[in-house]
Amino acid sequence: MTAQIWYENDADLSVFDGKTVAVIGYGSQGHAHALNLRDSGVKVVVGLRPTSKSVAFAKEQGLEVKSVADATKEADVVMILAPDQYQAQIYRDDIEPNLKEGAALAFAHGFNIHYGYIKPSADHPVFMVAPKGPGHIVRREYAAGRGVPVVVAVEQDPRGDGWGITLAYAKALGALRAGAIKTTFKEETETDLFGEQDVLMGGINHLCEMGFEVLTAAGYQPEIAYFEVFHELKMLVDLMNEGGLNKARWSCSDTAQYGDFTSTVIDEHTRERMQYQLGRIQDGAFAKEFMEDQAKGAPKFKELQEEFSRPQLETVGPKLRAMFSWNKGEAADADEKESFTGKIARAQTQE
């Protein structure tokens, strides 16, 4: 089945005439949504805890900032961009009691709706606009006249105008310059978690770490090991981005291709473990484990962060990355990100 994709001409920003959008949270995604919508002519108010360090950052950008409760009271659309683990409490304490009749609720990830941690009453439209990129890229691409693709979904549509609101929001975000793919809260949540756990964070990260450890344990220099399992990965991913797996393979030597085809590291056992992880995502076991740990103060999460800090990698990596001229621009981008979005990300807890 071919996915349905919408572009600029498929949405009407006049949907927001006389309307206010409250953006709850001012972290990576929050700042991008608020600024892009504001610059598209939408009236935006940012909802934060009065004690949040992000209040100052948002005000510096010329945005109106109010408490979550007060921002919700005046909003026709409330976009909740706080971290997943805090959304349910924020909704229960500050949003639900102050939500205008018929106001729409919006999300950039389906987690809390799909797993039932947030259950809006049936009279509220519920939709999702989920950028397929981090917030600083969403903002940067918008400012450059481009956009980051999004996936969009409507969970509740009591008035029949849910898709109009959704696409107008995506257009104001700049996303329809690239395209919006129709999905569902269920599909977005489960595929997003699977991608993170089994291919990206839980796949590539562990594969690189283990490759580095195997090489250094065998007596190879850490610098050489880092080049082989980390540095060259970027080149391969860039080729995939340009032309898919075929271009990535064709651009490498015959020796590399033959090793790719005959490798037994990723095999049917890996598929079985992926299917097991997907099952835990589908039946809610992963979400339950994560949310219960967070409710206790995240002891397991913090323990795992410490366990996987990999101090040797973080000693070798910066030294080698500094050798490449093309990283200089990226380093500057990282410094810029740290000066704004990096700081607000650290301050976003329970925003």
Distance CA 69, CA 74 (A): 9
Task: With respect to residue 112, please indicate whether it lies within any of the assigned structural domains.
Answer: yes
3-state secondary structure 84-143: HHHHHHHHHHHHHHHCCCCCEEEECCCHHHHCCCCCCCCCCCEEEEEECCCHHHHHHHHH
Which CATH number fits the domain that encloses residue 16? 3.40.50.720
CA triple 191-148-161, angle to 5 deg: 75
Which whole number is the average pLDDT over 301-326? 80
Binding site for substrate: residue ranges? 253
Binding site for Mg(2+): residue ranges? 192, 196, 228, 232
Helix, coil or strand: residue 64: strand
pLDDT of residue 315: 79
Same domain, 156 and 216: no
Task: With respect to residue 277, please indicate whether it lies within any of the assigned structural domains.
Answer: no
Looking at 23-27, 158-162, 318-322, 339-343, which range is the least confident one?
339-343
- For the chain, the domain total comes to 2
Q: What is the pLDDT of residues 82-123, one digit of tens each?
A: 999 999 999 999 999 999 999 999 999 999 999 999 999 999
Which residue has better confidence, 308 or 21?
A: 21
Catalytic residue among 31, 33, 109, 124: 109
Distance CA 277, CA 70 (A): 40
Same domain, 9 and 156: yes
Task: With respect to residue 284, please indicate whether it lies within any of the assigned structural domains.
Answer: no
Domain hosting 308: range is: 201-266+298-337
Active site residue 124: no
pLDDT of residue 335: 43
Same domain, 176 and 312: no
Q: Which of 108, 101, 148 is nearest to 24 (CA)?
A: 108
Contact of 63 with 35, CB cutoff 8 Å: yes
Q: What is the pLDDT of residues 217-262, one digit of tens each?
A: 999 999 999 989 888 888 888 899 899 988 988 898 889 899 999 9
Same domain, 57 and 14: yes
Same domain, 42 and 127: yes
Looking at 135-149, 221-235, 244-258, 302-316, which range is the least confident one?
302-316
Neighbours of 120 (CB within 10 A): 18
Same domain, 48 and 134: yes
User: Which sign, positive or negative, has the C-alpha torsion 266, 269, 274, 277?
Assistant: negative
pLDDT of residue 198: 94
Binding site for NADP(+): residue ranges? 26-29, 49, 52, 54, 135
Q: What is the pLDDT of residues 40-72, one digit of tens each?
A: 999 999 999 999 999 999 999 999 999 999 999
